[in-house]
Chain A
Amino acid sequence: MSNSGYVPNLPNKPLWLLAELTYACPLQCPYCSNPLEFAKYKNELSTDDWKRVLREARKMGAAQLGFSGGEPLVRQDLEELIAEARQLGFYTNLITSGLGMDEKRIKAFKDAGLDHIQVSFQASSEELNNLIAGTDAFQHKLEMARLVKKYGYEMVLCFVLHRQNMEQIGGVLDLAVNLEADYVELATTQYYGWAYHNREQLLPTREQLQRAEPIAHEYQERLKGKMRIFYVVPDYYEVRPKACMNGWGAVFLTIAPDGTALPCHAARQLPGMELPNVRQHSIEWIWNQSPDFNRFRGFEWMKEPCRSCPEKEKDFGGCRCQAYMLTGDAANADPVCDKSPHHHVITDFIDHVARIAAGKESAAKPILFRNPKNSKALIDAEAKKPETPLPA
């Protein structure tokens, strides 16, 4: 027994704190993982609320902090929050589109002790980038990427890949080389929130992935020691699920703009969640005691085929949100797994997408840009329904 009050069987520590400072964002990316009904959550935490959250999470052992959103730069108190976080000992990551940034702010972030800035691009060409972002952002992003480098940050670029920009993968990597990026994340779209709604238009085809993979590997090989390139295949094309969040309530803590604490940023949609809020509860209670954070901890909640699966300690049955969205029950195996009796939902969808891409079938829904107007329209449509069916 140490002298720090160690009690056996307490959950792990929340090493990762994702602070979603706001749902406001100047971009309208249809692959956004924010909730569709984001326009409903208006009551943002105050600066003092956030400072308390940072203090409490740090005391619980959180070491990595991501400032995210929406677009975190919209918050004018970002400099103040960075300074507070850095002083508490967090490693501070800013995850941004670059819009709302200028040289003065980058310098202020540096002075406040910001450790790392990740700038996202939507594509390598100005035209496609701006089309996906729903705004003329490309030139400003280039300028911000150069400033990030100038102020001595590691340059981390993030490109979210999907069917509309997959063909630009070589161009994307050339752009990263041009900007002298240290690290490139070719992030595959995660099909939650808006991305889930738009997945008919976003999921790449098998042929696209087969073309993209050798290109990514060729650049990885050629740029070894100069630029690290992270590339993964969308989980829809896998036969084993991802170890989502490294397990429910294991290392990851998201605080949404309205103060709701979540085991992952998509978990708000699951039925039966109590959604504890940092305005009413301490981080310690939320992490250790709340029903939400204990709901899928460990293995007791599992059904077959997960319960008796030798791989359950490796992937924890995959993603609870994906299990809910695609099978209707969050305690089912993630249907990405080919041991799941629902795996056909994934393969059927891949086939559907192949037919859409080949022009043989049309998408059931048009692509929907992520903006407050569309969000409100979805909220109104939901309110008019007599009951709440599963998301289509």
Chain B
Amino acid sequence: MTINVNGVARTVDVDPATPLLWVLRDVLGLTGTKYGCGIEICNACNVWIDGSAEKSCHLLIKDVLTVKIVTVEGLATNGVLSKIQQAFIDEQTPQCGYCQSGVLMRAAKLVSGNAKPTDAQIDSAIANLCACGTYPRIRAAIKRATGQAAVK
């Protein structure tokens, strides 16, 4: 089977019923995408499927053969961080960092389609669970990336 990950065709030899999450991590070594709950609640495993943020823990590999998959490793271009990634650095957003790949996939999606997301839109888009409590800095980073005054 061949899947398209971060613009590259990758051939994988796995059970077709294997979730995408574990193919990315174990087979392709793209470990930025995380296992958090396995039951589609925490959003740590978010990737883009044809531009939409989806939970890779329940997407079977056989069902993603014809789509474009983007992982957190694909957010930067030739080593240059995307604007939202740089904003996460500038706001020093991650603490432990484990949930942040999933957060970034949703935040990047939000800012790509919304020039000035409101607080309510940020609340709605960032459905990720973060045990460290980085929410204030996620909000600040999204505002920074979209040229809005930081909320301190």
Question: Is B a genuine binding partner of A?
Answer: no
Which residues of A come within 8 Å of B, CB atoms? none
Which residues of B come within 8 Å of A, CB atoms? none
